[in-house]
């Protein structure tokens, strides 16, 4: 029973999740966070306060309490977005860990500035340390329950509508029939000739690449010790191949259907049950490449 629960939890936490903390969207979400927290504190006053302890007008206290989480949020994800390929490796578990860590950090900073805001001899006490951490977690959980699902649904609808609006393209498969490409692997005795016309897609798997081929209507898999970067470089002369994800190289000639979800697009290929992802940051390149064929 416990093993089953653990496996389900592990599967849930490892599910891909959209990394939407980038570029203009990060700035926009930081501003939304600032405005939302300010209005929440100023209009609702969710926590008991003693006006006699205030060193400044209440409106400025609310501004400070709203500015701190917005700055921490922006600084954290400004750093994270610079990690190569993180958006494609982002999942539910990482999302939860980062959000909880941010809330704890926000609570600590709110505690450290109490002397600036409140005239209370007990500012530096475990009681107020606990209260600031608790308040940050409570407010953060409330905002997460509102904004995370809302943004997830927004991205899902946006990518799905874009995918449905893509024009149907019938690509000629016979342009690469009988074209064989010599591929050099990291193990010399494992070098081989790749039938370009039979290639469906390739997927990186740790130190190997799984190459899926159409073998007279049946899918045949080759496992080769080669990096995706090395394979992509050796196939650079084939205009119908595109890296749609950090781990996937796809033959655009065999796409049967394009659909969308919160992470980006999903491709269904001939003879393949596996859905091939197209990362959000590679959607423009995918659409442009598809039009050029």
Three-class DSSP labels, 60-92 = HHHHHHHHHHHHHHHHHHHHHCCCCCHHHHCEH
Model pLDDT, residue 105: 95
* DSSP 8-state secondary structure symbol assigned to residue 276: E
Q: For 243-276, what is the HEC assignment? A: EEECCEEEEHHHEEEEEEECCEEEEEECCCCCCE
Model pLDDT, residue 161: 86
Q: For residues 42 and 5, what is the distance between their CA atoms, to the nearest angstrom?
A: 42
Model pLDDT, residue 109: 95
Domain that holds residue 81: 2-162
Model pLDDT, residue 215: 81
Domain identity same for 193 and 63: no
Domain identity same for 207 and 142: no
Q: Of 140, 162, 184, at which residue does a domain stop?
A: 162
Q: DSSP E strands: which ranges in 154-198?
A: 180-183, 192-195
Model pLDDT, residue 104: 95
Domain identity same for 18 and 134: yes
Q: What is the pTM of this model?
A: 0.73
Q: For residues 262 and 279, what is the distance between their CA atoms, to the nearest angstrom?
A: 10
- Each of the 293 residues of the chain gets a pLDDT tens digit; together they read 777 888 888 887 887 778 878 778 889 889 999 999 999 989 888 777 788 889 999 999 999 999 999 999 999 999 998 887 787 788 888 888 999 999 999 999 999 999 999 998 888 999 999 999 999 998 888 888 887 777 778 777 888 888 877 776 665 555 555 678 888 998 888 888 888 888 899 998 888 999 999 887 788 889 999 999 999 999 888 888 899 988 899 998 888 888 888 778 889 887 788 888 888 888 888 888 888 77
231 within domain boundaries: yes
Domain identity same for 19 and 144: yes
Domain identity same for 111 and 184: no
**CATH number of the domain bearing residue 207:** 2.40.50.1020
The answer to whether residues 102 and 72 touch, using CB atoms and an 8 Å cutoff, is yes
The answer to whether residues 240 and 251 touch, using CB atoms and an 8 Å cutoff, is yes
Domain identity same for 254 and 275: yes
The contacts of residue 184 (CB under 8 Å, 6+ apart) are: 191, 226, 230, 234
Could you tell me the two tokens for 274? 């596996």
Domain identity same for 194 and 143: no
Number of domains present in the structure of the chain: 2
Model pLDDT, residue 171: 56
Phi first, then psi: give them for residue 292, nearest 5 degrees. Answer: -80, -15
The answer to whether residues 212 and 235 touch, using CB atoms and an 8 Å cutoff, is no
Domain identity same for 254 and 185: yes
């Amino acid at each position: 029973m416990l093993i089953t629960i653990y496996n389900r939890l592990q599967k849930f936490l490892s599910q891909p999740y959209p990394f939407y903390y980038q570029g203009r969207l990060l700035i926009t979400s930081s501003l939304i966070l600032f405005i939302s927290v300010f209005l929440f504190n100023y209009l609702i006053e969710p926590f008991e306060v003693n006006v006699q302890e205030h060193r400044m007008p209440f409106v400025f206290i609310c501004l400070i309490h709203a500015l701190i989480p917005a700055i921490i949020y922006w600084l954290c994800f400004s750093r994270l977005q610079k990690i190569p390929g993180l958006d494609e490796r982002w999942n539910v578990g990482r999302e939860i860990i980062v959000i909880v860590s941010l809330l704890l950090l926000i609570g600590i900073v709110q505690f450290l500035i109490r002397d600036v805001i409140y005239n209370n001899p007990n500012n530096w006490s475990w009681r107020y340390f606990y209260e600031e951490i608790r308040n940050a977690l409570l407010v953060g959980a409330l905002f997460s329950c509102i904004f995370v699902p809302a943004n997830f649904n927004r991205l899902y609808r946006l990518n799905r509508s874009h995918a449905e609006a893509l024009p149907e393209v019938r690509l000629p498969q016979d342009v690469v029939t009988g074209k064989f490409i010599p591929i050099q692997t990291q193990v010399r005795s494992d070098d081989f000739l790749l039938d370009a016309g039979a290639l469906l897609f390739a997927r990186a798997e740790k130190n190997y690449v799984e190459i899926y081929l159409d073998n007279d209507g049946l899918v045949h898999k080759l496992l080769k010790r080669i990096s995706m970067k090395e394979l992509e470089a050796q196939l650079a002369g084939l205009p119908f191949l595109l890296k749609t994800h950090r781990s996937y190289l796809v033959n655009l000639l065999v796409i049967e259907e394009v659909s969308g979800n919160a992470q980006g697009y999903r491709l269904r290929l001939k003879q393949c049950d596996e859905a091939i992802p197209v990362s959000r940051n590679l959607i423009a390149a995918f659409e442009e490449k598809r039009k050029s064929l």
